Amino acid sequence: MRLSRSFLPTLKETPADAQIVSHRLMLRAGLVRQTASGIYAWLPAGLRVLRNISQIVREEQDSVGAQEVLMPTLQPAELWKRSGRYDAYGPEMLRIRDRHERDLLYGPTNEEMITDLFGQAVKSYRELPQTLYHIQWKFRDEVRPRFGVMRGREFLMKDAYSFDVDHAGAVASYQRMMLAYLRTFQRLGVKAIPMVADTGPIGGELSHEFIILAPTGESGVFYDGALDEQDWLHEPVDTDDHASLDTFFRRTTSFYAATDEKHDQAAWSDIAPDRQREGRGIEVGHIFHFGTKYTEAMGVSINGADGQSFFPEMGSYGIGVSRLVGAIIEASHDDAGIIWPEGVAPFDAVILNLKSGDLACDALCERLYREAPGRLLYDDRSDRAGAKFADADLMGHPWQFVVGPRGTAGGRVELKRRATGERSEMSVDDALAMIA
Ligand code: ATP
Ligand code: MG
Ligand code: MG
Ligand code: MG
Residue 262 burial by Cβ neighbours in a 10 Å radius (0-12, 13-18, 19+)? middle
Atom 3 (ligand 1): residue with closest C-alpha? 283
Considering the chain, what is the average pLDDT of its residues?
95
Q: What is the spatial order of strands in the sheet that 103-106 belongs to? A: 74-76, 103-106, 94-97
Q: For a pLDDT cut of 70, what percent of the chain falls above it?
A: 98
Distance 89 CA to ligand 2 centre (A): 11
Q: What angle do CA 61, 67, 69 make, to 5 degrees?
A: 115
- Determine if ligand 1 sits within 6 Å of the CB of residue 152: yes
Name residues with Cβ closer than 5 Å to ligand 3, which is an ion.
Answer: 283
SS3 412: strand
Ligand 1 atom at shortest distance from the alpha carbon of 282 = 3
Comparing C-alpha atoms, which of 150, 129, 154, 115 is closest to residue 37? Answer: 154
Over 80: is that where the pLDDT of 397 sits? yes
pLDDT at 42: 98
- For the segment 70-85, the average pLDDT, to the nearest whole number, is 97
Give 328-353 pLDDT, tens digit per residue. 999 999 999 999 999 999 999 999 99
Q: What angle do CA 176, 127, 173 make, to 5 degrees?
A: 10
Atom 31 (ligand 1): residue with closest C-alpha? 320
Ligand located closest to 283 CA:
1
Q: For a pLDDT cut of 90, what percent of the chain falls above it?
A: 91
Ligand 1 atom at shortest distance from the alpha carbon of 284 = 20
Q: At what angle do helices 44-63 and 321-331 cross, to 10 degrees?
A: 110
Give 96-115 pLDDT, tens digit per residue. 999 999 999 999 999 999 99
Ligand 1 atom at shortest distance from the alpha carbon of 219 = 2
Comparing C-alpha atoms, which of 159, 251, 261 is closest to residue 211? Answer: 261
Give 198-242 pLDDT, tens digit per residue. 766 555 568 999 999 998 899 999 999 999 999 999 999 999 999
User: CA-to-CA distance for 85 and 50, rounded, in angstroms?
Assistant: 30
Give 104-153 pLDDT, tens digit per residue. 999 999 999 999 999 999 999 999 999 999 999 999 999 999 999 999 99
pLDDT at 16: 86
Atom 19 (ligand 1): residue with closest C-alpha? 320
Ligand 1 atom at shortest distance from the alpha carbon of 318 = 14
pLDDT at 2: 95
Structural contact between residues 129 and 162, judged by C-beta atoms closer than 8 angstroms = yes
- For the segment 255-277, the average pLDDT, to the nearest whole number, is 93
Residue 362 banded pLDDT, cuts 50, 70, 90: very high
pLDDT at 434: 84
Ligand located closest to 210 CA:
1
Give 277-332 pLDDT, tens digit per residue. 999 999 999 999 999 999 999 999 999 999 999 999 999 999 999 999 999 999 99
SS3 345: coil
Distance 406 CA to ligand 3 centre (A): 54
Q: What angle do CA 422, 405, 398 make, to 5 degrees?
A: 30
Across the strands, what pairs with 223?
A: 257, 277
Over 70: is that where the pLDDT of 358 sits? yes
Over 90: is that where the pLDDT of 17 sits? no
